[in-house]
Chain A
């Protein structure tokens, strides 16, 4: 076992990064500021780990969210060097610079430092009826769905609700009631699910004033998404379905 003995302190720092972190407490501070920290770099270190280094050893007042540190929980979406990133999967060694600026998700209310209020995001999520709706009860058998049908939602179900796309979408900045890319992706996920039987009701919600027609296909959402989803494509599909449903109605 001697060969694999772990020594926490032995991981020698090889260099440092300059970390600029957004600081703001809306109840105490008149304006926000950026604090600068010099953080020793360990091999394989992520931006999230640099934040913990600061919290543990330099400034115990720093506030940020975290949970899985494996890019699946969506807690640590932040604005890092001008891009939307999950802090946990952003590797220092791959950033091409030793100057790192970390801010909270833009356009969401700041609670403190890097922690934003996700309520506007989850309100939109709840409005699209984000749950499977079916009419008949199959009791003790699963609903059948072919692999081909499942494939239609392969991408959409990957959303981790990190809110990067919502934060990046210029429409949400000006039109606060716009459902936004993530909620619309969730709506698409159920509309495209062969098992769901509430397509008409859902299309009604997403085709309203705050829905799919607000999208200007700017693709910021697609660029911001850490899971590389295509929300714009999902919105386009919802638009087509909305139109074809309306046409069906008039053709009757």
Chain B
């Protein structure tokens, strides 16, 4: 049944920013490198990033005293002290070189008057340190990285969906994927695999994420025995467009935008009077949700993001992308009208457990970007740190993969692992395509989304979360009755989406169970029944291990280097 067998030294799964940066590193160090991606790389969700990428370049007068240590402290405080501080130091130290490198690759950043990379203020940051290209930063960086891939003619397998990893003992030797175009299974043998598959936002009904962000990479790693770390920490972005939940960048507030309730009040003055709208995302999202819940929102469950006072010129220069989106998706022109916004799932702080070099518990399996958890974002990520995460840890995982491949004695023969993986993938697909469906896939998907948004959302409580855990178990049971009703091979979306859904259910279970277990409030994880942070019992990472009956939780201490946890005030 396997149509083709491929072999490369390093295979990167995922064509977004982390994946492409890893691929460039591996290729430039002489490895036979390939990228396997569910979509053409240029379609990856990194391209939807708007506001910018953080680095203490100190390019603008207000940021002249900025340095990597201040960036590190802001990140640790933003994380509500759950981030590993050694990893944060690594990321913020390497920020400048990675950003300059993106510029050298051709990224057209916006510029200061003296021609340097422009920087803007962002939430939770002491200085304007977010480098940007109007409000299309992800788009232009994605283009530049892909351009570099084309320059080197790195091999890309576009439109392949990974079904399983090939693992023998504690060594990863490759993967098996469906060629979406032909529908055939193809095997990919590799000395090292790097998973850079992005987030899992679409588990939630309300998410700013692309439809392709289903956590599929997290799921294949989890099924292979790699723990998922801190998955209960889900970022809800304060400002997503009402209805479609498309992101309205934090830069809108960085450039001076107001949040306003139905009383015409800039309500952030009651929550964080010092920094107003530029508090970190967890705090702003809670504030907005509180306004809505207490009846100070607008119809449909939203508040207003008001940019009108910024004036036409500034909006057109700095925020043209979100203006177009607001006009085309909500028929609102931000130059003339306030934008209706509501919080929506935005980012998965947790992910596949790995170290600062992307290594996981499986030899030859590395990971980087949103699907990974180093951890640098802890319980709440600062805006502008996700793009930074992708390039810093993309590069590091690429470099480490090369070292691992060169260190030949750690390898085992691939044949057995590959054969088993092929058999496993075939069985999975056969099971889904044979027999009668007793359950429509879309119902499970929408009930899961509803459950997660309503019961494992911004405000959490024991009762609803217990219901959510039970509901997910029921959905997992019902999923067994799902069948692929279209039997054709080519571009079979029914098959892909049904395969994805299995992973969604597993990842959702880890999120819900981890959230229920964590009896404290920290960063994005806000419990109504445990309102305070509890450093005595919960200053630790959650590690969820796969078992057939659901995740088994273990815990690991947080690495603290120089900043002792203190009250988090803004």
Instruction: Spell out A's residues near B (CB within 8 Å).
Output: 1, 3-9, 25, 27, 43-44, 46, 55-57, 60-75, 89, 91, 94, 111-113, 115, 118, 125-126, 129-132, 134, 138, 140-147, 149-150, 153-154, 157-158, 160-161, 190, 193, 195
Contact = CB atoms under 8 A, between A and B. Distances in A.
A68 B45 contact: yes
B332 interface: no
14 contacts: A3-B292, A3-B293, A46-B244, A63-B491, A67-B39, A68-B47, A70-B325, A112-B490, A118-B40, A140-B97, A142-B104, A147-B111, A161-B42, A193-B108
B100 A89 contact: no
Interface string B431-444: 00000000011100
B141 to A, nearest CB: 11
B47 to A, nearest CB: 6
A150 B108 contact: yes
Given A56-B440, A70-B48, A112-B491, A6 B39 contact: no
Contact of B113 (A64, A71, A147): A147
Contacts of A63: 490-493
Interface of B: 39-40, 42-45, 47-48, 96-97, 100, 103-106, 108-117, 133-134, 136, 139-140, 143-144, 147-148, 150-151, 181, 205-206, 210-212, 243-244, 246-247, 289, 292-293, 295, 297, 301, 321, 324-325, 328-331, 440-442, 446-447, 449-450, 453-454, 457, 459, 484-486, 488, 490-494
A111 B111 contact: no
B47 A138 contact: no
A224 B211 CA distance: 25
A96 to B, nearest CB: 14
Contacts of A154: 134
B145 to A, nearest CB: 10
A3 B42 contact: no
A231 B304 CA distance: 36
Contacts of B454: 1, 5-6
A86 to B, nearest CB: 9
B210 A69 contact: yes
B490 A70 contact: no
Contacts of B494: 55, 60-61
A28 to B, nearest CB: 8
Contacts of A73: 39, 42-45, 47-48, 210
A70 B432 CA distance: 31
Contacts, number: 188
Contacts of A134: 104
Nearest to A118: B40
B111 A44 contact: no
Contacts of A160: 42, 47, 139
A150 B110 contact: yes
Nearest to A70: B246
Contacts of A144: 111, 114-116
Contact of A145 (B97, B115, B147, B441): B115
A89 to B, nearest CB: 5
A106 B453 CA distance: 40
B459 A157 contact: no
A160 B244 CA distance: 20
Contacts of A61: 486, 488, 494
B446 A146 contact: no
A6 B139 contact: no
A57 B325 contact: no
A249 B45 CA distance: 45
Given A8-B450, A68-B48, A132 B147 contact: yes
A142 B247 contact: no
Contact of A131 (B147, B447, B449): B147
B139 A72 contact: yes
B301 A4 contact: yes
Contacts of A146: 111, 113, 115
Of listed B115, B330, B459, residue having the most chain A CB within 10 A:
B115
Contacts of B493: 55, 60, 62-64
A239 B201 CA distance: 46
Given A63-B493, A71-B328, A6 B453 contact: yes
B248 to A, nearest CB: 11
Contacts of A1: 289, 293, 454, 457, 459
B315 to A, nearest CB: 14
A6 B106 contact: no
A143 B104 contact: yes
Given A8-B449, A157-B108, A131 B151 contact: yes
A145 B111 contact: yes
Contacts of B293: 1, 3-4
B211 A67 contact: yes
A146 B117 CA distance: 10
A82 to B, nearest CB: 19
A11 to B, nearest CB: 10
Given A3-B301, A138-B104, A142-B103, A67 B440 contact: no
A89 B327 CA distance: 10
Given A67-B212, A73-B48, 4 more contacts: A60-B486, A112-B490, A129-B151, A147-B111
Given A67-B43, A73-B42, A56 B442 contact: yes
A8 B454 CA distance: 11
Contact of A4 (B133, B292, B491): B292
Nearest to A189: B108
A67 B244 contact: no
B111 A71 contact: no
B43 A70 contact: no
4 tightest A-B contacts by CB? A132-B106, A144-B115, A56-B442, A131-B147
A68 B210 contact: yes
Contacts of A71: 324-325, 328-329
A157 B246 contact: no
B206 A70 contact: no
Contacts of B139: 72, 158, 160
Contact of B243 (A44, A72, A190): A44
B412 to A, nearest CB: 36
B301 to A, nearest CB: 4
A161 to B, nearest CB: 6
B108 A43 contact: no
Of listed A60, A113, A150, residue having the most chain B CB within 10 A:
A60
Contacts of B485: 60
Contacts of A141: 100
